[in-house]
Structure 1
Amino acid sequence: MSDPAARVRPVTPDETRAPTDRLGLYAYLQAREHMRTYLAIMRLFTATLLADLSAGDVAAALASAERDGRVDRGESRIENVITRLRQLVEWGNLVQGRREVVAASIAEFQHGSVRYQISKLAVRVQRDVDELLRVPEGAREVSRELLPAIERGLNQLGKSLATAVQQEQRDPDSTASARARELLAEQVTTLFLQHAELAATVRDFYAYLGQVVTRHHLGADEISGFRNLLVEYIQKVVEDVLRQTPAIAEHLTGRFAAARPELLRLLGDPDLGAEVERARGRSAADWQELTDWFVDRPGRPSQVTVLREATARAIGSLLASVKRATAGGGLLPGRRAELLKLAKWFDDGTSQDGARMYAAAFGLYSARHLLPAPEHDSDDERTPWSEGPVCDVTVSVRSRSDRGARGRTSRIMDDPITEQSLLAEARQADELRAADVAELAAAAPNLDQATLSPGALGVLCELLTLAMAQRESTKDAGSAEDQVRGLVVRVEYAEGVTTRVRSTGGTLTLRDSTLVLSGGGT
C-alpha cells in the first residue's frame, strides 16, 4: 500500500494568495524611503537561478552596491538587511527556508541558517520592472517582418500535423512519432512567440502614438517628424498587415481549425500535472485568442480592424494639428514653448528666484494671512513640486493666455410645455405659502395652545431667523415681515419666560423670549 502522504503535493506560497492579494508583490516599488535597497535585493535574487541566500550574503552584496552609490549608506548593516528581507517576506516576494550550517556563534548561526528564496510571481514582477526601466521614451518599432513568418509557420504547422497524425496511426511509440511530436511542439511555440512579439510591438507603438496625437500644440519640427512617422511608416505597417491577414485568417479558420483538437491532443503531456503552467498554444483558449487577433467575429472586431481604425484616427488628428498651425486666420501661436522655458527657469533657480519670477510672470505676490495657515494641500509636504499633483491647464490659457469664454452665447429655446409646468409649480407653491401664513395668523392670539402644521412651522422659523438676525444682543428686540402677505413676527427679550410653539413634527422652545405675531389676515 502506498503512503498517502507521498501523494500530497506541497503548496507553494504563490498558490495560497488570492488573485487580488498578488498586487501586494508590487509594494516594494512604492516604498519611497528604501526603494533602492529593495530593488537591489530583488535584482540579486533574480540574477541567478535557484538563488538561496542568507542575510549575510545579501549584506555582502549590498556593501558593494553601497560603495558604488546604488543604495543609501548604512543599508548593508546586517540588522537593516534582516528588516528589509523580513518585509519582502511579508509582501510575498521572498520565501523563508532553513539550512544546516557550521557556525562559531549564535549570531552567525541565526544569520546563516535562515535562507531566502524568491517566489515565482515575484520573479515575473521584477523582470517586468527591469524591462520597464530599460524602455526608451520614444516610439517602438513594429516587428512587421513577423507577419510573413507567422503565415509560413501556420503553413508548415499544417504539414507537420498531417505527418504527426500519420506517424501516430502507424506506431505511436516509435522514434519517428516522437520526433514528429517534438517538431510539432517546436513550431507551435515558435508561432506563438512570434505573435506575442508582434502584438507587443503594435500595442507599444500605438500607445506612444496616442499620447502624441492628442496634444493640442505641436511645433513645426514635431509635425514634420510625426508626418513621416504616420504617413510613411504606419502606411507600411498597415499595408503589410492587410496583405498578410487574409492568408493567416484562411489557415486559422480553414481546414487547420478542424484539425485543432487533434493538434492539442498530440501536444498534451500526460507527465505534467494540472499545476504546471503550460506554454502558449497548448489550449483551445490560446488558439481562439490568436484567431481573434486576425479574424473578425460578430460584435467583436479583430485587432487588425482596430489597428486600421486607430491609424485613420491618428492621421486625422495629425491633419487637424497641421491645420491649426498653418491656418492664417486660426488660433494665435501657442505659449507652450514659453511656458516650458519658464518652467526650466523655476527648476534651475533657487527658492528666492522662484518667488521673484512667479511675481513677475503672473503678477501674484505673497499673501498676508491673519488666520492660521491652512492645511497642506498635498499628501506629503516633502514631495518635490516636479513629482507632486499635476494642475491641468486649459487650451485657452495654454494657447492664448486667456481665461475668457469663447464663442457666441447659446440661444434660449422657446419651450412652452416647460414654461407652463414651471408656472404651475410656482402657483402651487404660492397657494401653500398663503395657507401657511393664514394658519399662523389664525393661531396668533393663542400661539402657545395651537398645534401648527410642518409648513406653518417652516414659515415661522424662516421669519424668526430673520428677526433674530436683526438683534445686536440677546436683550434687544427684533422683527421680520412677510413682504407679500404682511405677517410680522416679533421676538422680545423676557427674562425667565419660556415660549413653546408646538407642531405635528415637534416643539420649538425659546428661552427668555416672547413671540408676537401680527398681520397676515389678508
Structure 2
Amino acid sequence: MPVTPDSPDSPAGRPVSATGEPDRLRLYAYLSAPERRSYLAIMRLFTSTLLADLGAGEVATALAEAERRGEVDPGESRIDTVIDRLEQLARWGNLVPGRREPAATIAEFTRSRVRYQVAKLATRVQREVDAVLAVADGAREVSRELLPAIEQGLVAIQGTLGELPAAEHGRGPDSAVARRLRERLAQQVTTLFLQHDEFAAAVRDFYAYLGSVIARYDLAPVEMSGFKHMLLEYVELIAKDVLRYSEPIVARLGMLTRQRDRLLELLGGGVGDLTQRTGPRGQTELMERAPGRRAADWDALSDWFVGRPGRPSEVSGLREATSRAITALLTNVKRVTSTGGVDPGRRRDLLTLARWFDAADPESAHDLYAGAFGLYSARHLGLAAAGDGTPAATSWRDGDRVDVEVSVRGRSDRAPGGRVPRVSDDPLGRAALLAEAAQREERRAAAVAELAAAAGALAAARLSGDALDVLCELLTLAGDAREAPDRQGSASDPVSGLTLVLDHRPGHTARIGSVFGHLELRDTEIRLRVTERVR
C-alpha cells in the first residue's frame, strides 16, 4: 500500500509536503494560533514526562487545573474542545496518534478515544519555546573559561589517540583497556563539542544584544555611562580571549585533521552507539548522531576558527564586529555625555515639550502642538514626494506620510553635509546620451513628415504610434486654448511647422486613423496644415 501524507503508515505521523519532505515549519503553527495558551499547556503536559502517552480525559483534567490557575481560557477543559485541540496538534505533526484506550466491549470500543504521544521534533520545538520565554532581556554572559577548556579538550583527545595503538597492540582491540580508552575518547569529543556550542551560542546572543544597544538613541547619560563601563570592557575581554586562544586551537585542529579518519572510526559502531541500520522492511532508519561523530561536525568546528577562500572564519567576523561595536559605542557615549552639538534623537527637546504639554490646558495644548510640529488645519508643510496626488484640502491626519531628512530634523537645514562632490566626466555616457537625443529627433521628424503627408485625409490614414503622439499633443494644446466647448481652438508647433485647428461643428464627426484604431471626435472638425517647410 503506498504511503500518503494522511496514511497511518507515514513516518512517525509527521506532515509531509508536496515534495515528500517533512513540513517542519508546521510544527510552529500552534504558537500563533488564537488558542495558543491552550496549545502551550497541552504541549507542556506532553513534554513534562518521558514517553508520555495521554488521552483526552487526562489532558482535560490537567487543563481544568490550569483553568483554575488562570493559565488557559475558561471552557478549554471541556472534553469535546480537548479532542479538537489534540486532533489539530496531530494534523500539524506535534502529536502522534497511537493506540485506542482499552475497551471491554464493542460498544466501548466505538466510544473509546485515541491516545497520543509527542513527536520528537515537537519536543525540541517546545523546549526551545520555553527557553525563549524564560530568557532574560539583558545581555547574556559569555563563559570565557570555555576557550581554554576547548584547547585542553583537543590536547586530551590527541593524548588518548596516542595511547590507543599501544593498548590495542598489547592486549587486542577489544580488550578492557582499549574499550575504556575508546569510552574516554567519546567523552572527550562530546564534551569538546558541547563546550564549543555553548560558547558560540553565548557569543551570538551577546553580540545580538550589543547590536540592539548600539542602535538606540534614547538612552539617558546615566544609562549610557553604565553601558560604557560594562560593555566596552566586556567586549574587549571577549575579543582578547578569542584572539589569544585561537592560534593554539587552530594548531591542535590541524594535527587532528590528519587523524580524523581514525578518530571517526573509533567513535562509531561501538556498543550502545546509534548508527544507520536497515529496518525489517528494508527501509533505512536515520539516527541522529551525537556531536563529533561526523566529518561535517569537525569541518564546522574548524570553520569557526579557520577561514577559507571566500568564507571568513567566525573569529575574523568577531574581530570586525568588535571593532565596529567599540567605535559605535564610543560615538554614542560622546554624543550623550557632551554638552554641545546636535542631539539626533532630540531626547531633551521631546522631554521638555512633554512637560509643557502636561502643564498646558486644552486650548494651550492645541496651540502648542501646532507651533511645535507646524501641523495646521488644511495645510501641508514640507516637500511632498514626487508625483504626490494628495488634494490640498486633505487633512494632514488623512494624507500620506512624508519622510523628513535627518538634516532637516536635526538642523532645520536642507543643504547636504560635507563637501560638494566633483562632477565626473563620462565621455562614453555623454556620447550615448547624444546618440539617444539624435534618435529621438529623427523619430519626431519622421512623425511630423507623416502628419504633413496625411493632413488632408486623416480618416483614411494609418498613422504610426509616433505620429499619433505628436497629433495628440497638438489636440491637447488646441483643446486647452478653447475659451468654450462651442468655440474654435488652435495650436501651433513652431519647430515642426504644424498647426492644428479645432472647430465646433454640430453633427460632424472627425475621424483619425492609426495603427491602434480610429479616434472619433463628435461635433468637431479638425484642420491640419503645414505653415513652414518640414525639415
TM above 0.5: yes
Distance 1:118 1:208 in 2: 34
- Residues 1:304 and 2:286 are matched in the alignment: no
1:313: which partner in 2?
324
1:247: which partner in 2?
248
Question: In structure 2, do the counterparts of structure 1 residues 370 and 199 end up closer, same or farther at CA, with 3 Å as the change threshold?
Answer: closer
Deviation of 1:246 (Å): 2.5
Distance 2:394 2:406 in 1: 35
C-alpha deviations, 1:139-183, integer Å up to 9, x for none?
111111111211222222222223334334432333333222222
2:299: which partner in 1?
288
2:423: which partner in 1?
413
CA contact (8 A) 1:218 1:321 kept: no
Distance 1:248 1:427 in 2: 67
Distance 1:61 1:355 in 2: 55
Distance 1:70 1:341 in 2: 42
Distance 1:188 1:472 in 2: 93
1:261: which partner in 2?
261
Deviation of 1:11 (Å): 2.5
C-alpha deviations, 1:253-287, integer Å up to 9, x for none?
12x32222111111112663421100100011111
C-alpha deviations, 1:28-73, integer Å up to 9, x for none?
2222x22222222221211111222222222222222122121222
Deviation of 1:419 (Å): 5.8
Letter in 1 for 2:32: Q
- Residues 1:199 and 2:200 are matched in the alignment: yes
Deviation of 1:189 (Å): 0.9
1:460 to 449, 454, 471: 471
Distance 1:269 1:492 in 2: 99
**Identical positions, percent:** 54
Deviation of 1:505 (Å): 5.1
Question: In structure 2, do the counterparts of structure 1 residues 332 and 206 end up closer, same or farther at CA, with 3 Å as the change threshold?
Answer: closer
Query: Greater shift after overlay, 141-150 or 432-441?
Result: 432-441
C-alpha deviations, 1:76-123, integer Å up to 9, x for none?
22232222222222222222223232489979964x521222211111
Query: Greater shift after overlay, 204-213 or 297-306?
Result: 297-306
Distance 1:67 1:325 in 2: 50
- Give the SS at the match of 1:331: coil
Letter in 2 for 1:90: R
CA contact (8 A) 1:438 1:520 kept: no
1:335 to 346, 356, 375: 346
2:27: which partner in 1?
25
Write out aligned runs for 1:337-352 (5 A).
339=350
1:385: which partner in 2?
none
CA contact (8 A) 1:443 1:450 kept: yes
Deviation of 1:128 (Å): 0.9
Question: In structure 2, do the counterparts of structure 1 residues 429 and 69 end up closer, same or farther at CA, with 3 Å as the change threshold?
Answer: same
C-alpha deviations, 1:432-458, integer Å up to 9, x for none?
434433432342223333443432222
Question: In structure 2, do the counterparts of structure 1 residues 88 and 444 end up closer, same or farther at CA, with 3 Å as the change threshold?
Answer: same
Query: Greater shift after overlay, 201-210 or 69-78?
Result: 69-78
2:334: which partner in 1?
323
Distance 1:46 1:345 in 2: 55
2:5: which partner in 1?
none
Distance 1:241 1:115 in 2: 51
Deviation of 1:391 (Å): 11
- Give the SS at the match of 1:499: strand
Query: Greater shift after overlay, 317-326 or 190-199?
Result: 317-326
CA contact (8 A) 1:54 1:114 kept: yes
- Give the SS at the match of 2:11: coil
CA contact (8 A) 1:216 1:395 kept: no
Deviation of 1:192 (Å): 0.9
Distance 1:284 1:265 in 2: 11
Deviation of 1:315 (Å): 1.2
Question: In structure 2, do the counterparts of structure 1 residues 119 and 336 end up closer, same or farther at CA, with 3 Å as the change threshold?
Answer: farther
Distance 2:372 2:106 in 1: 67
Unpaired runs of at least 5, structure 1 = 1-8, 347-353, 378-389
CA RMSD of aligned residues (A): 4.2
Distance 1:370 1:306 in 2: 52
Question: In structure 2, do the counterparts of structure 1 residues 63 and 371 end up closer, same or farther at CA, with 3 Å as the change threshold?
Answer: farther
Distance 1:372 1:163 in 2: 85
CA contact (8 A) 2:378 2:393 kept: no
Question: In structure 2, do the counterparts of structure 1 residues 150 and 366 end up closer, same or farther at CA, with 3 Å as the change threshold?
Answer: same
1:350: which partner in 2?
none
1:214: which partner in 2?
215
1:155: which partner in 2?
155
Equivalenced residues, count: 496
Distance 2:56 2:442 in 1: 83
Distance 1:394 1:370 in 2: 23
Deviation of 1:396 (Å): 4.6
Distance 2:261 2:58 in 1: 50
How does the TM-score come out when normalised to structure 2? Answer: 0.79
Query: Greater shift after overlay, 305-314 or 324-333?
Result: 324-333
Question: In structure 2, do the counterparts of structure 1 residues 15 and 25 end up closer, same or farther at CA, with 3 Å as the change threshold?
Answer: closer
Write out aligned runs for 1:167-206 (5 A).
167-169=167-169, 170-206=171-207
Write out aligned runs for 1:330-409 (5 A).
330-332=341-343, 334-336=345-347, 339=350, 362=373, 364=375, 395-396=406-407, 400=410, 402=412, 404-407=414-417
Distance 1:476 1:91 in 2: 74
How does the TM-score come out when normalised to structure 1? Answer: 0.80
Distance 1:78 1:202 in 2: 46
1:38: which partner in 2?
39
Unpaired runs of at least 5, structure 2 = 1-8, 277-285, 358-364, 380-390
Distance 2:307 2:325 in 1: 22
Letter in 2 for 1:133: L
